[in-house]
Amino acid sequence: MVFTSLQISPGAGGLASMTTILAVETSCDETAVAVVRDRQILSSLVSSQIDIHQPYGGVVPEVASRQHVVTLAAALDQVLPAAAVDWADIDGVAATCAPGLVGALMVGLTTGKTLAMVHRKPFLAVHHLEGHIYANYLAHPDLQPPFLCLLVSGGHTSLIGVRGCGDYETLGQTRDDAAGEAFDKVARLLGLGYPGGPILDRLAQQGNSRAYALPEGNISLPEGGFHPYDCSFSGLKTAMRRLVEKLQVEGCEPLPGADLAASFQATVARSLTRRTIACALDHGFNTIAVGGGVAANGGLRQQLQAAAQDHHLRVLFPPLSLCTDNAAMIAGAAIDHFHQGHRSNWQVGAQSRLDLSQVMQLYS
């Protein structure tokens, strides 16, 4: 099995004490472990299951769970030596408990609890989305709340007002498909394979983003007008399918894949950028931090950075290695909770869904 390794050391970020956490992340199809000291990543290992799930065109939950069982022990054997620490240096153990695939979560959560019990360390259960927020703290140690987080991934698309550790307000969200899910579905429509997002992003760089006019997808309000921050991608996905069918009927073979990808990606990026900038300005945020797998998308990075500059807003992206699922971000969130005196009890369980506003329910 192959692990990708991430080691960046931006510094402790001015925190009051040095706290070292070992974290486990198994919410979907990446098996990840990390050791983080305050906001310094000492070691971070990630094993991807992409090759295993590719023949199915998506993640098979039972297969993902079984692969976590196979991979996790090997990752744990390597992570402490890679960090040049031992168990005497570890202050606590953390694991993702929600949201995600329940079977996959249970593997990591059970492992984290067991390690904490055996080594007599405090245990912290971490919300996966809070981890994505904390990826920016690791990459930008000077970042302090309040700020607006655009969280965009395969399963989630939200605008979150970050006021402090565990203090979050969802200001906008998708009403149907998440942005990453829409990328994967359109990539499948274009025959690009799985996972579709990165492939579509690369193809879009070769195309004309103005080749096809596509709808952004607005959310109507009962009193008239449109919701300023909520978004929808199901209509855009349908428009892409009808466009492809139209081109095929017209005998357009092969399809102009680069132009289709570029037009779709530009529309998603424009939709997210317009809502994010409006939300930041309306709520008085001068900093925007982006998290989640779609934060790696080149079109979104380009459009949002340009728009933020026009409005004199600061926009932050994690490095690509911290956009996708990893355990370093889970450890980062756990460290802040540890400093606040938060601990999880042994009864905390895996949950497929848990709103970010309920994150403090994970701590006693």
Quote the mean pLDDT of the chain: 93
pLDDT of residue 15: 41
Could you count the other beta carbons within 10 Å of the beta carbon of residue 46?
Answer: 22
pTM score, two decimals? 0.92
How far is Cα 216 from Cα 195, in angstroms, rounded to an integer? 23
Residues of the chain falling short of pLDDT 50: 9-16
Query: Considering only the top CATH level, what class is 147-321?
Result: alpha beta
In the chain, domain spans: 4-142+322-362, 147-321
Identical fold for domains 4-142+322-362 and 147-321, yes or no, is yes
pLDDT digits (tens, 9 = 90+) for 281-308: 999 999 999 999 999 999 999 999 999 9
**Cβ atoms of residues 109 and 327 within 8 Å:** no
d(CA 143, CA 141): 5
- Quick one: which of 99, 94, 136, 91 has its CA closest to 113? 94
Per residue in 249-260, pLDDT (tens digit) is 999 889 999 999
The answer to whether residues 151 and 292 touch, using CB atoms and an 8 Å cutoff, is yes
C-alpha 74: how far from chain center: 24
Q: How many CB atoms lie within 10 A of CB 13?
A: 17
What digits encode the pLDDT tens for the residues 92-122?
Answer: 999 999 999 999 999 999 999 999 999 999 9
> Measured between alpha carbons, how far is 152 from 166 in angstroms, rounded to an integer?
19
Cα–Cα distance for residue pair 329/292, rounded to 1 Å: 11
CA–CA dist 343, 323 (Å, integer): 26
For 261-285, give the DSSP string: HHHHHHHHHHHHHHHHHHHHHHHT-
Question: 352 with 98: CB under 8 angstroms?
Answer: yes
For the structural domain made of 4-142+322-362, what CATH number should be given?
3.30.420.40
Two tokens, residue 107: 């593997």
